[in-house]
Structure 1
């Protein structure tokens, strides 16, 4: 089932952020979370956005019976590739999981259109 695959991929991303020591114990302020910029680039790091914005929003979407709030298209991997190339730690696994998440979300959206 696609929904279960999406849930498992979100959980895997969550674990990898912790394993790679990219998990933040400090929650962003409401002002940081209110950013209107893509990926909140003006107020937080990409991994903070993954942790505090993407993961909670996608979790809420997949728990909604109608998947309300699912983006029309997901291309998070492009941003991950750009950001992670500057990191010293190995982020290949995180990048692969984000790519898989993009694929799952885009496949699901395509199925609901047809």
Structure 2
């Protein structure tokens, strides 16, 4: 496994931990229809944190597990900042982990 794959794996663990600490980890999966969204970040069917948990994390974990090609460019942190801006909850820990992903992959 490459150093970059290992670094991504570490960040994904930290991202999951940040979501759990903020009680943003969902106990139930969205419907198959919701997960089939083709909109960016599935904004039409999922919340941003659902997208992270049920789409982004599993896809990235599969790439790491199978040593697949990692995205050459990533810019998720700005979306997270926009999502958390109007929220009551402070999502800084999640944004921090996503910045780490963006920096590593860009």
TM-score tier (shorter): over 0.9
Stretches of 4+ moved more than 6 A in 1? none
Structure 1 counterpart of 2:5: 3
Instruction: State the TM-score, normalizing by the size of structure 1.
Output: 0.86
* CA RMSD across the alignment: 1.0
Structure 1 counterpart of 2:64: 62
- In the TM superposition, what is the alpha-carbon distance from 1:59 to its structure 2 partner? 0.2
- In the TM superposition, what is the alpha-carbon distance from 1:72 to its structure 2 partner? 3.6
- In the TM superposition, what is the alpha-carbon distance from 1:89 to its structure 2 partner? 1.2
Structure 2 counterpart of 1:47: 49
- In the TM superposition, what is the alpha-carbon distance from 1:43 to its structure 2 partner? 0.3
Structure 1 counterpart of 2:27: 25
Residue in structure 2 matching 1:38, options 14, 37, 40: 40
Instruction: State the TM-score, normalizing by the size of structure 2.
Output: 0.92
- In the TM superposition, what is the alpha-carbon distance from 1:54 to its structure 2 partner? 0.2
Name the SS for the 1:23 alignment partner. Answer: coil
Q: What runs of 5+ residues in structure 2 fail to find an aligned partner? A: none
Q: Distance in 2 between matches of 1:95 and 1:60?
A: 22
Q: Distance in 1 between matches of 2:59 and 2:35?
A: 12
Q: Distance in 1 between matches of 2:72 and 2:86?
A: 29
Name the SS for the 1:35 alignment partner. Answer: coil
- In the TM superposition, what is the alpha-carbon distance from 1:33 to its structure 2 partner? 0.5
Structure 2 counterpart of 1:87: 87
